[in-house]
Chain A
Amino acid sequence: MKVRIASAEFAPADEVAVCRLHLDDGMPAGDGLLVPAALSTLIAQLVTDELRGADARAAPAHYERLRAATAGGGFDAARAVAALDCALWQSKARSAGEPLWRMLGGTPDRPPSHVALPADADVSDSIERMTARRFAAACLPLGGDARADRDKLAAYRNALARHAHDPVLMIAIGNDVAPETAISTIRALEADFDIALADCHGLAAHPAGWVDMPDDVAAAVCGGAGLATLAEFLPLFRARAIDAARVDIELTGISGAIQLSEAAYGLELPILLVETRNAVAVALATAVPNCMSVEIPWSVAMRGEGQARP
C-alpha cells in the first residue's frame, strides 16, 4: 500500500487555511487543522524537509520528529506541528478505511461536552442559542465585574437547569488575573454557585504562584492554556498546581494530546479537551482514559460543528 506523503495543500479562507496532505498514489489524504494563513509557509517547509516521502501511517513518530525540528519555535511552531499531526492521523485513518475515532481506539459514543460561552455576547441571546443546542454544561469567562459575573452565572445556571438534571457550571479566568485574586473570586462565587471547574489561563505561565490554589477552592483548578508539550506541562505536574489539564489540540495535535492525556492519567488528573472545527476532540475523547469534558468553542458550537461524529 502506498501511503507516502507527497505534498501539502492549503485552502485559504479569509485569514485561515486548511492544511491538507497529499499522498503519492493520489488517494484522498487527511485534512489537518485550520491554521493562520501566515503559517502556510512554515508548514509547507516542514512537509518538504521532514515528511515528504515518509509513510503517513507513522503519525506519532512523525510528531516526535516535527517537534524536534521545530524546538524553540514557540506558539507558531506548535500550531504548525499540530496541524500536520492531525492531517497525518486523518491520513492514517483514511488509508485504513476507518473513521478517526475508531483508528484512535475510541467509540462512536458522544463524550461529555460543554460550551465555552462568549465573553461579550448578549446574555439572553446566547442563552437562547445555548439551550437550543441542549448543552448541559457551560463555561463562562469572568469579566472582572463581580456583580455582572454573578448575574450572568445565575442566568446561565438557570438556563442549563431547564433541560439538564445536573447542569455543570464552569468558569474561565483570564491570564491577567493574579492567583490571589483568582482564589478570592472563586471562593466568593462558591458561596452561591456550585462551580465544577475553574480554567485559569494565567496558571500555565507561572505555575509556582498557583501551587496552593487546588487546596483553596472547591472547584477543580484547570490549567494548560497555551501549552503544547509534555515538557511544558511538567512544571504544572511537578507542582501539583492543577486538578485538571486543559489540552488544546490546535497546539498539541492528536499525538501530543494522547501523550498529555496519558501522562495526566498517571497522576489521576482528568483532562479537558478543546474542540477543533473538524471535530478532532470528539473523536479523541473516547480513546483516552480521562477526558472529563470536550470544550466546544462558541464559534464552533454555533456552526453546529464539533458535535457531529467525525
Chain B
Amino acid sequence: MKITGYRHETYLMKMDRPIADCNQPAGVELLPGSILFIETDAGVSGIGLGFGGEAVATVFAAIEGRDPRETVALWMRMHDAIHKGGNEGAANAALSIADVALWDLKAKLADEPLWRLLGAREGRVKAYASGLDYCLSDDELFDFYRRLAHLGIDGGKLKVGLDFDADLRRVGIMRDALSVASDEPMLMIDANEYWSAKQAIRYVRHMERHFPIAWVEEPARRWDYHGLRQVSQCVGASVSTGENLNGIGDFMALIENDAVDVVSISSGHSGITGCRQIAHFAQAFGRPVSMMNCQANFMAHAAAALPNHSIMEVVDPGREHCLAFDNHIEDGHIVLGDVPGLGVTVDETVLRDLQAHPPTGKGVFPLSRRQGAGLYNVAPRPGEVPWRTGP
C-alpha cells in the first residue's frame, strides 16, 4: 500500500461568535480553515485538520510512495525533511496536519476509531469549558459556561489580564454558571503571555484571595523557563503553558527546569505523534498534560490514549461548517464514537461554497500581541469590549 497524492483545501469561515484574549480584546470572527487529504492506492484517504500552507508540498515529498501505516517512521521522515531554515511556523504546521491525516488513515485502514488504534481503554475524555471570552459581555459569558455546565462540564477557563476588578467579577460569573455541574467547579485563568513573571505573581496572588485557581495559563512568555518557574513557585495555582511551542524539543527547558505544572499539548505540536512524545516526556517528570481545543474536538482521540492526560479544552465557537464528526459532550466528557479514524467527514459542497464565497467579518485569527505586553498594562479602552463602557 502506498501514499499516492494529497489534496490541501483552505478556506475561511465565520464563527458563530467572536473569540478573544487580552491581547486582542475586541476579538475576531473569522477563522482560516485547512483540510489535508492524504490519498492512497487503496482508495482510502486520511483527513488532517489544522493549519499548514505551501509547506505541505515539502513534507508530502518526504512521504510520497511510502506505506501510510508506518506513521511514526513517516513522522521522522517529515521531521527530518524540514530540519533546516524555516523549520518552525508554517513548516511545523504542515508536518502537524500531515501527521494527523496519516493517523486518521492508519485507523481507517484498520477499520477502527483512532482512540482504539492508539490503545485507549475507552473513547472518553474529561472536558473543561474555555470561552476565549474576553470579547463576551457578562451575560454572554454566563450563557456560554452555563450551556456547557448543562452538559456536565464542571471546569472553566477565563481569559484575563488587563483589568483585575473586571476579571475578578467575571471569574465569579464563570463559577456561578458552572455551579449547576459542581459545587466546586475547577477555575482556570489564561493571560496569553501578556504579563511578565512578576506581574503574573502579583495578579494571581491577589486573585487567589478570592478564588481557588487551579491553573494559570501562559503567565509569562512561552520560552521563559526561569520566569514560569518563578510563577509556579510563588503562587498556589499550577502553571500551564506550551500551546505555542512547536514540538517536543521546545519543551526540554520547561519540563527539565520545573517551569510547567500542566503541559499544554495540541495537534500543532507536530501532530499526534508529537503530542504523544511530549506527554511521555511530561509523564517522566510527573506532569499531567492537557489537550488544547480544536475543530470538532478531533484531538480527543489522542488525549484518550495518553496515560497522563487530565482534561481537554472545549471552546465550541461554531467552526465545523463543512465538517461532520462522530463525538459529542455528555456528563462532562467528550464521548468519541466508533466511526473509523478521527470520525470526521467533509461536506465538499459546503467547502466549495465557503471557498467560492469567503465570509466577511471582524478580524481574522490568529490574535496578535497587545501593546505593553510584559512591560506595562494597557487596560481595555471604553467600547473595546462590551463590558467596558465607561472611562
Interface residues of A (CB under 8 A from B): 54-55, 57-62, 64-65, 92, 96, 98, 102, 104-107, 230-231, 233-234, 237, 255, 258-263, 265-268, 286-289
Contacts and interface: CB of A to CB of B under 8 A. Distances in A.
A61 B277 contact: no
Contact of A289 (B70, B116, B277): B277
Given A102-B69, A107-B73, 19 more contacts: A58-B120, A59-B119, A62-B121, A102-B70, A105-B71, A106-B72, A231-B286, A233-B284, A234-B284, A234-B285, A237-B256, A261-B280, A262-B279, A265-B281, A266-B255, A266-B280, A286-B70, A286-B73, A289-B79
Contacts of A286: 70, 72-73
A262 B121 contact: no
Given A59-B119, A102-B67, A266-B248, A287 B72 contact: yes
A262 B256 contact: no
A106 B75 CA distance: 10
B305 interface: yes
A142 to B, nearest CB: 30
B116 A230 contact: no
A98 B111 CA distance: 13
Main secondary structure of the interface of B (DSSP, over half): helix
B252 A266 contact: yes
A268 B252 CA distance: 9
A234 B79 CA distance: 27
Interface residues of B, number: 38
B277 A237 contact: no
Nearest to A65: B121
11 contacts: A54-B121, A57-B117, A57-B119, A59-B119, A61-B119, A230-B280, A234-B284, A266-B284, A267-B281, A286-B70, A289-B277
Contacts of B71: 105
Contact of A60 (B70, B73, B278, B305): B305
A63 to B, nearest CB: 8
Contacts of A59: 119
Contacts of A258: 280
B310 interface: no
B277 A98 contact: no
Main secondary structure of the interface of A (DSSP, over half): helix
A60 B307 contact: yes
A267 B256 contact: yes
B76 interface: yes
Contact of A263 (B79, B121, B249, B281): B281
Interface in B117-158: 117-121
A98 B109 CA distance: 11
Interface in B278-310: 278-281, 283-286, 305, 307
A82 B152 CA distance: 38
Interface centre among A55, A65, A106, A262 (most CB of B within 10 A): A262
Contacts of B249: 266, 268
B333 to A, nearest CB: 16
A263 B284 contact: yes
B176 to A, nearest CB: 36
Contacts of A288: 72
B225 interface: no
B277 A60 contact: no
The 5 closest A-B pairs by CB, nearest first: A266-B281, A105-B72, A60-B119, A263-B284, A61-B121
Contacts of B67: 102, 107
Contacts of A54: 121
Contact of A57 (B69, B73, B112, B277): B112
Contacts of B281: 262-263, 265-267
Nearest to A263: B284
A103 B249 CA distance: 25
Nearest to A267: B252
Nearest to B74: A105
Contacts of B120: 58, 60-61
Given A98-B69, A262-B281, A58 B252 contact: no
Contacts of B277: 262, 265-266, 289
Contact of A106 (B70, B116, B117, B279): B70
A233 to B, nearest CB: 7
B305 A262 contact: no
